[in-house]
Amino acid sequence: MGENHLTYFKIENFKRFDSFEMENLGQFNLLVGDNNVGKTSVLEGLLFDEDGAKFLVRLIHCLFTRKLLVDDPNLSISLNLNLWNAFPKKTTKPFEITFAYVESQDIRKIKWDLIPFADLTTEDYKLLSKKSTFPRDGFQELVFKYGLRFSSINGLNNFYPLSNITNNELIIAIKDIQNYIPFIATSDNYDSDLLNFYYKQINTDKKKRKEFEYNLKTFIPKLEEIRTQKFFDDTEMLGVVLEDENGIYPITRFGDGTIKLSRILLEILMAKGKRIMIDEIDTGIHFSRLKDFWKMVIKLCKQYDVQLFATTHSLECQRYFVEALSELGEEYQKDARNISLLENAKGEVQSVTFDFEQFEFALSIGANTRGGQR
């Protein structure tokens, strides 16, 4: 495991959680549990950054990618302070993240407080309340000034932004600040960002390009080459050249599973040395390809020092996770974890971490590894 990978994570007053923690984390972490138990919320919490502005932008970006905010430039949405109601469970309390990295094992904590309207000056309130158009260059200074109090163990106090802006202006801000957001939503499909990732990570690197094409052959057996090409209304896309055929086809022709695999392979390269969160990792992947799919993902994460957090509610996905690790060997097994999310009678969610041997044994005897209620 890399020095920037997490070994411990705890989040308080976030989404549905009063308090939730995970211990004994590995490099390859599969989170399982019933629908609505909070798996996606855990992934969103794992987007945290010690830079409060980046964390805010990542969370807002997730609302867009999960279609909880609509990308419509003609629609004005009220962010004001109310957007943060989507994140803290109780807006009268701060939400906190506690974590430890492999490198130090020291427990560190970050806390975010909402600023009540009563604390704002009249001029500040006017700025936050009116609908304004912010120039691109000044967006961060004007918007990331009020709305959220951020503090850390170092005693820092900074203010980060919220205001009434249009979706289009918010998207501009995200593009200005985000760089790369390591979260793959269940609904993510082909988009222009895949082409951007390809140009950044693959196009000029022959070794990576061949590796990318080799991995995609699991889903496109006759694949000869991936290259960029304009299709339809002159839209540039990833194109597929097949053996014994003279044409070139848009990668979207080969189905959701191929698009899902392409996105994961490219985004793992973007997340080199960091962590990546993938919601419902098996969505769109046919069961007959799940074992090979898992082997590719795990090997690539190992190769590029990426810590993986993925969710599923499928027992089948768990079984193929174990089968893939069994074939890959001890080098990979020692850093693999299954983390079951369990909800008690009070509605509190707790986690149970299985290492590879415990998880393999639990599956072999039919024990519950999928979470649920306890």
pLDDT tens digits, 129-182: 443 333 323 333 333 333 343 333 333 333 333 333 344 444 444 455 456 789
- Whether the CB-CB separation of 243 and 222 falls below 8 Å is answered with yes
Positions of the chain with pLDDT lower than 70, given as ranges: 51-53, 67-86, 113-179, 368-374
Amino acid 116 reads P
**Residue pointed to by tokens 């820092």:** 156
User: What's the confidence (pLDDT) of residue 126?
Assistant: 54
Q: pTM of the predicted model, to two decimals?
A: 0.82
User: What's the confidence (pLDDT) of residue 32?
Assistant: 93
Q: Can you read off the two tokens belonging to residue 18?
A: 């009063």
Pairing of strands 28-32, 158-160: unpaired
Backbone angles phi, psi at 238, to 5 degrees: -75, 130
User: What's the confidence (pLDDT) of residue 365?
Assistant: 75
- Whether the CB-CB separation of 93 and 14 falls below 8 Å is answered with no
Q: How far is CA 3 from the centre of its chain?
A: 20
User: What's the confidence (pLDDT) of residue 69?
Assistant: 59
Pairing of strands 275-278, 307-312: parallel
Distance between CA 222 and CA 190 in Å, rounded? 21
Residues of the chain above pLDDT 90, percent: 42
User: What's the confidence (pLDDT) of residue 132?
Assistant: 39
Q: What is the enclosing helix (H) or strand (E) of 59?
A: helix 52-65
Q: What Rg value do the Cα atoms of the chain yield, rounded?
A: 22
User: What's the confidence (pLDDT) of residue 26?
Assistant: 96
User: What's the confidence (pLDDT) of residue 362?
Assistant: 85
Distance between CA 76 and CA 53 in Å, rounded? 22
User: What's the confidence (pLDDT) of residue 124?
Assistant: 52
User: What's the confidence (pLDDT) of residue 240?
Assistant: 95
